[in-house]
Amino acid sequence: MSIENSFQHDEMSRKNPGERIALRDVALATLPESSAGLDTMASLGKRLSQAGVRVIVLLHGSIMGTDVFGVQRLDELGGLKRGYSRGVAGLDALLALMRENSNGISQLPGGMKPPLANDDATKRLLDEQMGDAGNFTNAYLELMRQSLNRGPDQPIHCVRELWSCEHHHLGRALAAVSMLGRLRDWVEARKLGLGDRILIQAHGQAGLVLALVSNLFCVTATSSRKRLLDLLLDFASQSNRPDSASTIQRIAPLLANGTLLNGAMLDVVTFGMPVRYGWDPSGLGKLLHIVNHRNLRTDGKTWLSKMELPQITMEMPIAWGGDYIQELAVAGSDALPTTEWAKTANKAVWEMVEPFDGFERWLECARRAVRIPSEGMGMLADYKDSTGSSNVRDHYFGHAAYTRLNAMLFNTTEIVQTLYPAH
């Protein structure tokens, strides 16, 4: 495992990950109607508890109301305006399919836009508008809490967190700081220490937030960490974000002396996370990436997605090859900050975490078709969500499947067997 990644971009290797990766067909199960499934969840809860897992965090954002593909940035970089699509058949159609106003994804009521608040009212709104499509609902949370805690002597605390959904470098960095503050809250409230574990299940770009967390957790002091925290503190002070400023001041010394988790370990599972930021596993416990994937390749490289133009524009509307948001929301794509202060700060963060930019860089990264980051275990799972429907809300281009109620048993089983195998 690499040490001191220092916020470097993932190398996006196309090499065979070998034993790091597993292939799975998802068996969907409606838990409330399956006594056998509930019994399995209870036994999995016991395994988790025995492994030291005391807190499970469901971390997600929203697909609706966001530039989920990050086309704002691509258009700003030139896109069709500068003729980058010339000679690349189908690229203009692909960009049209990705844009907010033409991708078929509805806006949130009242035109609600990021930053989204991590409060009950916003979570209820997402539950009403999206159900369990790319959204860890309150029903999902309660079912997980009840089913896991039928077995263990020491109950597992389950919590749902909504990150701001600011799909740019600054937004993700501020969300990483906020998550570190929340981690400290749980450590203090649950009196966690050596032998205890916190397990975060992060959907979509929430995984990128955790990648930044891993770099901030680096076991040795780095100038990059101080530079990033100073940059964010300056922005928070300028832009009237007292909560962010106080969190940074609270966590900075704890990160410096390695005591933020008080000896507990942080385990991370990502679902459908685009491969962008590099991970620093030195301060993490266990790391697993799960991607909705169906093999369409004819060259035997089953661990890669298929990125061919113009064919991709015919595959996407029915999620034929799996998760297309995971595949396309890569380096170069992003939403745009709304203020000049934020744009300046975002550029400074971008220079740290993703130094290569431009429309052609995005196209290069998308064409690499990498499904799994360079660090951690990987699992390519067919969630059986390609039913032929061209209604985007049925699958959100393959990005909705992970959080469905009927996927909970599969997800939990694979996480436990991969990260916490029985001795």
pLDDT for res 86: 57
What tokens were used for 247? Answer: 């969190």
Q: How far lies 328's CA from each of 104, 239, 364, 388, in Å? A: 16, 31, 11, 21
Query: Please, what sign has the CA dihedral across residues 207, 208, 211, 215?
Result: negative
Q: What share of the chain is helix, strand, coil (3-state, %, to 5)?
A: 45, 10, 45
Q: How many residues does the chain have?
A: 423
pLDDT for res 152: 73
What DSSP assignment string belongs to 75-129? HHT-GGGGTTTTTSTTHHHHHHHHSTTTSSPPPPGGG--SSPP-SHHHHHHHHHH
β-pair partners for 21: 378
pLDDT for res 348: 96
pLDDT for res 76: 87
Q: How many CB atoms lie within 10 A of CB 32?
A: 12
CA 142 from centre of chain? 21
What tokens were used for 20? Answer: 């790091």
Contact 171, 343 (CB under 8 A): no
| Predicted confidence (pLDDT) per residue in 296-330, tens digit | 999 999 999 999 988 999 999 999 999 999 999 99
Taking the chain (423 residues) in runs of 10, the rounded mean pLDDT of each run is 77 96 95 87 96 98 97 80 63 92 94 96 98 98 96 90 98 98 98 98 98 91 89 95 96 96 98 97 96 96 94 95 98 95 96 88 94 97 96 97 98 98 84
Q: How many CB atoms lie within 10 A of CB 242?
A: 9
Contact 364, 330 (CB under 8 A): no
What tokens were used for 422? Answer: 């029985």
The CA distance from 31 to 241, in Å, is 42
The CA distance from 200 to 311, in Å, is 36
Please return the burial class of 419, using the count of CB atoms within 10 Å of its CB with bins 0-12, 13-18 and 19+: buried
pLDDT for res 1: 43
What global pTM score does this model have?
0.97
pLDDT for res 354: 92
pLDDT for res 89: 79
What DSSP assignment string belongs to 209-269? HHHHHHHHT-SS--HHHHHHHHHHHHHHHHTT-HHHHHHHHHHHHHHHTT-TTTT-EEEEE
